[in-house]
Amino acid sequence: MTYDYSKELIDDYEKLLDIDKGHDVIIYAGENENAKEIRAHSIILCIRSQYFRAAFSNEWADKKDGKFILKKSNISSHIFEIILRFIYCGKVNLAKLAKLQTRELLELLIAVDELNIQTLITCIQEYLIDHHYRILHHNPIEALETVYQLDTFSGLLDFFLEAICDRPEILFNTDNLIRLRAPLLESLLKRDDLLLDEIVIWDNLISWSFSQHPSIQRDIDKWNKEEIAVMKSTLQNFIPLIRFYQISSDDFHLKVYPFKVLLPEDLTNNILASYTASTNKELNNDIHPPRSPKYDTFIIKSQHFAIFSSWIDKKNDSYYNLRNIPYYFKLIYRASIDGASAEVFHKK
């Protein structure tokens, strides 16, 4: 038999944050008028984080009057206090996280990565996944850019990209898209689950390319050789990602063909030929299949299936997210294919 008073011990450690005794670390968090002096204990910090073990080593330590001095102007004081409380007692106040602006949540993400507190990294990542829509809705570009730069959060980046593919209106056909970095746009266009018509993707790609070179006019007939070369270079990695064979003849002639100078000549010829060929086999081309949603429906979004799964399992406190849906949903009736009759519906 073992007596367990670990909760009492944790509570006592948490009290150390609120009493001004025994500290041997002074942390200056934030900058300018928002800077704040935070006091802590090196033994606790070193036990909980490799970062602090290195910072307080003989090689790197900065000491004054017997106390370690640490300046973290890149981390706001209220963000540092959230991290410090976790270091001392392993607690994260979700109510406080809910009050943080998107920029502050991303700052917290960067800070926990820098301080290399692995358990907190996992915790914050799970929180951002559970609240991804709020984050992406308010600031999709900064959210994507932040996780793209942090190798630790590659899984979170993939989740954000999947969420945008499921709800492309977050980014596409908005002013946000023109601020997206090329590698991120390329990652999106590589995906099979991007829920947009191919011609809409093309329109957005052209708008994005013009935004990268605002001095180039939109009248293609007036482009000089240098401007053509610049636009070709900008689009060279994206052209292979566009599924031109899924674009209708009318849309191709109206919206794509005017930019034929940017396309490989053989590609243009093959696309034009495809509109008169009876089968794709006649073209002898490697044609990408159409993009398709994760679930075979364009009306219901992936997050709805997460909610349905939560209802099935009677989860009242928290819903499943896009990554942990435990059920497989199969479409068994579609009016546009099966017919809009009650008899057929009930047979299905």
| pLDDT tens figures, 41-53 | 999 999 999 999 9
Residue 225 pLDDT > 90 = yes
DSSP 159-201: HHHHHHHHSGGGTTTSTTGGGS-HHHHHHHHT-TT--S-HHHH
- In this predicted structure, what is the pLDDT of residue 41? 93
Domain 1-89 annotated CATH 3.30.70.1450: no
**pLDDT for 146-159, tens place per residue?**
999 998 888 899 99
Q: What percent of the chain has pLDDT over 70?
A: 83
Phi first, then psi, for residue 170 (nearest 5°) are -60, -35
d(CA 211, CA 36): 41
- What are the tokens at 30? 């934030």
Q: For residue 295, how far is the Cα from the chain centroid?
A: 20
- What are the tokens at 183? 């590698």
CB-count burial class (<10 Å; 0-12, 13-18, 19+) for 214:
exposed
- Position 26 confidence tier, pLDDT thresholds 50, 70, 90: very high
Mean pLDDT within 319-344: 63
Mean pLDDT within 277-300: 63
Single-letter amino acid code for the residue at 270: N
Residue 266's CB: how many other CB atoms inside 10 A? 9
Q: Give the highest mean pLDDT range of 86-95, 223-232, 268-277, 320-329.
A: 223-232
d(CA 39, CA 177): 43
Q: What's the mean per-residue pLDDT of the chain?
A: 86
Sequence ranges of the domains in the chain: 1-89, 92-166, 168-292, 302-347
- In this predicted structure, what is the pLDDT of residue 15? 85
Residue 280 pLDDT > 60 = no
Q: What is the pTM of this model?
A: 0.78
- Give, as one character, the DSSP assignment of residue 291: P
d(CA 161, CA 190): 11
d(CA 340, CA 348): 12
- In this predicted structure, what is the pLDDT of residue 251? 96
**18-22, 182-186, 200-204, 233-237: segment of lowest average pLDDT:** 18-22
The strand pairing partners of 67, in sequence order, are: 64
**pLDDT for 57-102, tens place per residue?**
888 888 888 899 999 999 999 999 999 999 999 989 888 898 999 8
- In this predicted structure, what is the pLDDT of residue 210? 97
Residue 127 pLDDT > 60 = yes
- In this predicted structure, what is the pLDDT of residue 7? 86
- Position 289 confidence tier, pLDDT thresholds 50, 70, 90: confident
Q: Reduced to 3 states, what is the DSSP secondary structure of residue 47? A: helix
Mean pLDDT within 208-212: 97
d(CA 74, CA 88): 21
Q: Give the highest mean pLDDT range of 1-10, 48-57, 282-291.
A: 48-57
Token match 């006019």: residue? 217
